[in-house]
Amino acid sequence: MMLDPGGLIATGLLATMLVTGAVALLVNDLLVAAALFGVFSFAAAAWFAALGAVDVAFTEACVGGALTTILLVAATFRTTRRLDR
């Protein structure tokens, strides 16, 4: 069976999104969750770029990867870092 490299990359990126998203919801340290969401957005941006939607990938990298991560980190500084469940 021949493995298609493009398909492998896409699968890896989607798996990264799934894992980082799930772990971000489960961890109790909100700073870690914010960082994981940054990784999630970066994988999403790379996936959009792999699909040929470069403008969307650009936007996702700017907004999801950078801005949202900064705002989430700022929000943890202003509220609390530990999540008590």
Contact residues for another protein, defined by CB under 8 A: 54-55, 57-59, 62-63, 66-67, 70-71, 74-75, 77-81
Nearer to another protein, 5 or 79 (CB): 79
Q: Distance between CA 54 and CA 65 in Å, rounded?
A: 15
Q: How far is the CB of 61 from another protein (least distance, A)?
A: 9
Residue among 17 and 60 whose Cβ is closer to another protein: 60
Could you tell me which residues come within 8 angstroms of residue 44 by beta carbon, excluding any fewer than 6 positions away? 13, 17, 60, 64
